[in-house]
Amino acid sequence: MKHDKRHDLSQYPLRLEGDNVPMVRFQNVTKRYGSLTVLDGLNLDVAEGEMVTIIGPSGSGKTTVLRMLMTLETIDSGVIYVDGEPLTHMEKNGRLVRANAAHLRLIRSKIGMCFQHFNLFPHMTALGNCIEGPMQVLGLSKQEAEERALELLDLVGMADKRDQHPSRLSGGQQQRVAIARALAMRPKVMLFDEVTSALDPEVISEVTGVIRGLVDQHNLTMLMVTHQIGFAREISDRICLFFDGKIEEQGSPEMLLDNPQNERTQQFLSAVLEAN
């Protein structure tokens, strides 16, 4: 097993170079939980500024893709690259070895993530949530951090709630603060994991509106998991349909949603459309 891995790694480049280096590359990535193979040799590139949406049935590995990229999960084989640099590995004496904590931290700084259940820090205000990373990690002064945070809270329409703790905010409001908190770290890649799934239907548009704005305003690379097919169609450059830890089919929204080639894709889509 160990031997295999070492042998394997020689096939992966130390870094991605040339034109068209993707912002994110999953190269032959496998993830297992015990005997369960959750992702099986995943290959996925996301170009800079691209908005890629992942859809698929529950348990197909969508969340795991984002969590691996956020380094919340380790991977079992393959390499993930971010902005041309390996994330899960690092170069040592001309070879790739498993990334250490310092390397993970360095590359992770390019990635931000929003969670289904927001995960705001409950003991801090909306503003406090948004200045924590910039002050503790980026070394900004309190004033600089607050200026930046207020701009972003304004962007997500939460500036007037800056002094509220999360327990005083609705789900939609919390999620918008969470988006501001992630953006305050100036990530190049933003990950959204079912950020509207825990919300009441009437506030979903608060959050999708903010994400739509990000597509227009920032040249962010985004990777989003959602069950909202309509929203995905509207803002995605590309949609990937996951099935059993593999990309079953992918393409532009029109291609995938209107003219799915694959039988399982058709079944999934009709099931989802029926549910809506």
Partner 1 sequence: MLDWKMDFTWEILPRLLLAAGNTMLAAGGGYAVAVVLGLVFALAQRTRSRTLTFIVRELVEFIRSTPLLLQIFFIFYVGPQFGLRLSPWAAGLIAIGLHYAAYLSEVYRGGIENVPKGQWEAARAINLSTVTTYRRIIIPQALPPALAGMGNYLVGIFKDTPMLSVIGVAELMHTANSIGAENFRYLEPYTIVGLIFLAISLPTAWLIRRFETALRRKMGLTR
Binding site for partner 1 (CB under 8 A): 70-72, 105, 108-109, 111-113, 115, 117, 119-125, 132-133, 136-137, 165-168, 178, 181-182, 184-185
- 149-to-134, 137, 208 alpha-carbon distances in Å: 9, 14, 20
Using rule CB under 6 A, residue 63 touches ligand ADP:
yes
Cβ-contact 227, 195 below 8 angstroms:
no
CA 96 – CA 101 distance, rounded (Å)? 15
2 class by beta-carbon count within 10 Å (0-12 exposed, 13-18 middle, 19+ buried): exposed
Instruction: Give which of partner 1, ligand ADP, Mg ion, none residue 124 binds (C-beta under 5 to 8 Å, depending on kind).
Output: partner 1
Using rule CB under 6 A, residue 64 touches ligand ADP:
yes
In the complex, least distance from residue 275 CB atom to partner 1, rounded to whole angstroms: 26
Residue among 9, 24, 26, 62 that touches ligand ADP (CB under 6 A) = 62
Residue among 53, 60, 63, 226 that touches Mg ion (CB under 5 A) = 63
In the complex, least distance from residue 108 CB atom to partner 1, rounded to whole angstroms: 5
In the complex, least distance from residue 59 CB atom to Mg ion, rounded to whole angstroms: 8
Cβ-contact 114, 180 below 8 angstroms:
no
CA 126 – CA 160 distance, rounded (Å)? 10
Using rule CB under 5 A, residue 228 touches Mg ion:
no
CA 61 – CA 31 distance, rounded (Å)? 9
In the complex, least distance from residue 44 CB atom to Mg ion, rounded to whole angstroms: 16
Residue among 6, 11, 13, 59 that touches ligand ADP (CB under 6 A) = 59
- Residue 257 is classified by DSSP as I
Cβ proximity to ligand ADP, 186 vs 246, nearer residue: 246
Residues 113-152 that bind ligand ADP (CB under 6 A): none
Residue among 22, 61, 133, 166 that touches ligand ADP (CB under 6 A) = 61
In the complex, least distance from residue 66 CB atom to ligand ADP, rounded to whole angstroms: 8
Among 207, 239, 209, 202, smallest CA distance to 222 is for 239
What are the structure tokens assigned to 9, written together?
């790694």
CA 110 – CA 196 distance, rounded (Å)? 23
Cβ proximity to ligand ADP, 45 vs 244, nearer residue: 244
Cβ-contact 68, 252 below 8 angstroms:
no
Q: What angle do CA 200, 222, 226 make, to 5 degrees?
A: 35
In the complex, least distance from residue 63 CB atom to Mg ion, rounded to whole angstroms: 3
CA 55 – CA 241 distance, rounded (Å)? 5
Among 53, 54, 47, smallest CA distance to 23 is for 47
Cβ proximity to ligand ADP, 10 vs 58, nearer residue: 58
Select the span of 54-62, 104-112, 134-142, 253-261 touching ligand ADP (CB under 6 A). 54-62
- Interface residues with ligand ADP (CB under 6 A)? 33, 36, 38, 56, 58-64
Q: Which residues of this protein are in contact with Mg ion, per CB under 5 A?
A: 63
